[in-house]
């Protein structure tokens, strides 16, 4: 049975206050420091690479619209503001591969390119257009590998390195500039479709060899290639991202290498890292804005799991805690989940069985949506102090002046606490609530309202008049 999404209204426009007036009475249990400003939030998103968006397209019209609402809509769905696209390197269109825009060698790196464009791109063009209809307008395109003929191992899978990089010599010659132009051409094809690619990445998990599309870069090689790609991307009006390392801490040597090279750093707009080998739980050593650009719990042991709190890694509450740590501990400006939709034993937000025209929804979607619906692009994370043990708290001020406090209660008991928010609207996500409003959870008396936090829950508090009683 499908989980029924709760209709939730979006945050309304509120007056922007630069400082909060003093409150009478003792400090709140959760006290906001509006003068303490951390990172600016760019948004929340997920990937549609490897033809996963096409699964939704394959559904019947009624099911397709319902799935798209859950995956994209701000009122009832996941409400992403970022989509991550995969730049293909394969010569085949079979499922789980991404077709290259130049699947065959044009005759060497200096030959006239033989680019081809089908306007579909594994369903990504269609999905992006559907996303834009629902207000999503930031798109990050990332390559898992160059085509095999550009690499020293001759295939786009099983790692290998780009010909021409330091320490990599190939009989076919130096493919560095040809690969850079190949990547930028991909963004130009999207521009033909009326779609702007905002950020462009040239590597995915450069420190991990995978049996699917993958390519290795050392930190020094990534820094070297930034200086090749940067000027070409800039001339096309595209920002460059790097380096999508396999783990957050494993990103450190890449960040330090780029920071140590002024020319490479000048071409880098966004530093990205994944959360697999190590979680995003501390800032990275870079002056660039950072995104946690891919993570999902492993579904190998769990299988498809819709539960909020069953003790499995794929539970919704585990995803909520990851989002909290990524924002509050790692100072990341974005949280980009791995997949919005996929087949079978997946940890995606929804499971699609396109052969039988059905889909199912996990509680992970509502954990994601609790942040993405209310913490909007341009929001600033502000100070949140004083929570008791077992509460994970973060707070945000949106551009429109509204304020949002997110509280994960990791204890097995109901917690009653005051909070420094005026007349908050309260939403709950737990085993029995899918981001549902719970007006009886807040008592609107005194200088600070009292909020009841259910056991093992995520509570989202939204204030329409920030800083006032």
pLDDT digits (tens, 9 = 90+) for 186-241: 999 999 999 999 999 999 999 999 999 999 999 999 999 999 999 999 999 999 99
The CA angle 373-375-381, to the nearest 5 degrees, is: 165
Would you state the pLDDT for residue 15? 30
Predicted structure pTM score: 0.93
Contact yes or no for 206/244 (Cβ under 8 A): yes
What dotted CATH number matches 43-379?
Answer: 3.20.20.80
pLDDT digits (tens, 9 = 90+) for 120-172: 999 999 999 999 999 999 999 999 999 999 999 999 999 999 999 999 999 99
Report whether pLDDT(466) > 70.
no
β-pairing verdict for 350-353 and 358-361: antiparallel
Where does the pLDDT of residue 443 fall: very low under 50, low under 70, confident under 90, or very high at 90 and above? confident
Q: Nearest to residue 433, comparing CAs of 119, 3, 46?
A: 3
pLDDT one-digit tens code per residue, 307-317: 999 999 999 99
Contact 209, 152 (CB under 8 A): no
Domain boundaries, the chain: 43-379
Spatial distance between the Cα atoms of 114 and 192, rounded to a whole number of angstroms: 17
Question: pLDDT-based confidence at 28, cuts 50/70/90?
Answer: low
Closest by Cα among 320, 252, 334 to 290: 334
Question: Is the pLDDT confidence value at 301 over 60?
Answer: yes
Residue 212 CA from chain centroid, whole number: 21
d(C-alpha 342, C-alpha 388), whole Å: 38
């Amino acid at each position: 049975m499908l989980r029924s999404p709760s209709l939730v209204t979006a945050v309304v426009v509120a007056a922007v206050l630069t400082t909060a007036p003093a409150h009478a009475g003792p400090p709140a249990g959760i006290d906001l420091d509006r003068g303490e400003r951390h990172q600016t939030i760019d948004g929340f998103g997920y990937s549609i690479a490897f033809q996963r968006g096409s699964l939704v397209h394959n559904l019947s019209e009624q099911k397709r619209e319902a799935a798209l609402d859950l995956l994209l809509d701000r009122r009832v769905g996941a409400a992403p503001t970022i989509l991550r696209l995969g730049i293909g390197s394969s010569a085949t269109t079979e499922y789980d591969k991404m077709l290259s825009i130049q699947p065959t060698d044009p005759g060497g790196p200096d030959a006239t390119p033989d680019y081809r464009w089908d306007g579909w791109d594994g369903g990504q063009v269609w999905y992006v257009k559907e996303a834009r209809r629902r207000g999503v307008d930031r798109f990050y395109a990332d390559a898992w590998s160059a085509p095999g003929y550009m690499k020293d191992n001759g295939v786009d899978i099983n790692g290998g390195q780009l010909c021409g990089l330091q320490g990599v010599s190939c009989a076919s010659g130096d493919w560095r500039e040809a690969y850079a132009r190949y990547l930028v051409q991909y963004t130009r094809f999207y521009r033909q479709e009326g779609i702007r690619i905002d950020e462009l990445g040239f590597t995915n998990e450069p420190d991990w060899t995978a049996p699917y599309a993958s390519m290795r870069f050392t930190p020094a090689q990534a820094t070297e290639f930034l200086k090749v790609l940067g000027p070409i991307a800039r001339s096309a009006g595209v920002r460059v991202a790097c380096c999508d390392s396999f783990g957050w801490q494993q990103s450190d040597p890449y960040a330090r290498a780029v920071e140590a090279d002024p020319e490479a750093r000048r071409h880098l707009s966004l530093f990205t890292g994944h959360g697999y080998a190590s979680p995003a739980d501390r800032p990275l050593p870079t002056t660039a804005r950072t995104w946690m650009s891919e993570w999902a719990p492993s579904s190998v042991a769990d299988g498809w799991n819709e539960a909020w709190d069953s003790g499995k890694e794929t539970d919704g509450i585990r995803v909520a805690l990851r989002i909290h740590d990524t924002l509050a501990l790692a100072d990341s400006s974005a949280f980009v989940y791995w997949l919005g939709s996929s087949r079978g034993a997946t940890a995606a937000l929804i499971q699609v069985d396109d052969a039988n025209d059905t889909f199912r929804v996990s509680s992970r979607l509502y954990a994601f949506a609790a942040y993405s619906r209310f913490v909007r692009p341009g929001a600033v994370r502000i100070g949140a102090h004083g929570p008791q043990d077992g509460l994970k708290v973060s707070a945000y001020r949106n551009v429109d002046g509204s304020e949002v406090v997110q509280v994960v209660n990791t204890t097995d008991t109901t917690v009653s606490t005051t909070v420094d928010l005026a007349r908050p609207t309260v939403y709950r996500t737990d085993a029995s609530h899918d981001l549902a409003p719970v007006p009886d959870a807040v008592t609107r008396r005194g200088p600070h309202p009292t909020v009841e936090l259910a056991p093992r829950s995520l509570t989202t508090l939204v204030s329409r008049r920030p800083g006032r009683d």
